[in-house]
Amino acid sequence: MMNSDAAAKLLDRPTLVLNRSWHPVFTVPVRRAIVWLYRDIAHVVHESEYTLHDLQSWADLSRFLDKPALASPSIRLAVPDVVKMVRYNGMPRFRVAFTRRALFMRDKYRCQYCGASPGSKELTIDHIVPLSRGGRSCWENCVLACVSCNSKKGCRTPAEAGMTLLSEPREPKWSPLFNIAPTRVLDSWQNFVSEAYWNVILRD
């Protein structure tokens, strides 16, 4: 039997919420996702099969899943990683704040000049048009650069330094992942927030 501390931790764990059109919109604590499941406001999404489950169906399936579970005398539920709203089809109109972490996420921890991924400690934020020459700190003028590309570029523009960017930097589209500490992001969510996710052929 799970002790109450462990159960409370599980209830606080984030669940990814998809709207009716399968678009990831935000995260909620597991405790809220479970309430929605009981009220038939949301259904659980099996994170690799993309099947949908109401309370009874999820309880049935939970017996076969190797996942942490919440148990009461009458029911045992595997903790859902992803739920899909039954009716809600909104899209949050959040903009992604220009922060260090969001920039690292947008550029996927890669130097935008040479493509290297040397780890966050070896990456710097490069102003494409240098600050000293009137460049601004914004999505369009900042990219990640490895230490060697950054020092090679110095106080020049990429054109002056003979360097090219891998892609044109833009403000990223909102994703629930920008809003949550990286340590709390579940691996299983990657299926729902990656480009590949949008190319999955859905069956009823």
Contact residues: Zn ion, CB under 5 A: 111, 113-114, 116, 146, 149
Closer Cβ to Zn ion, 28 or 116, answer by number = 116
Closer Cβ to Zn ion, 122 or 171, answer by number = 122
Please report how close the Cβ of residue 191 comes to Zn ion at its closest, in angstroms: 30
CB 37 within 8 Å of CB 86: no
Closer Cβ to Zn ion, 138 or 165, answer by number = 165
Please report how close the Cβ of residue 171 comes to Zn ion at its closest, in angstroms: 22
Please report how close the Cβ of residue 111 comes to Zn ion at its closest, in angstroms: 3
Residue-wise over 163-201: b if at least 16 C-beta within 10 A, else e?
beeeeebeebebbbbbebeeeebeebbebbbeeeeeeee
CA–CA separation, 106 vs 84, rounded Å? 25
Closer Cβ to Zn ion, 45 or 145, answer by number = 145
CB 76 within 8 Å of CB 108: no
Q: Which two tokens stand for residue 97?
A: 């704040």
Please report how close the Cβ of residue 108 comes to Zn ion at its closest, in angstroms: 13
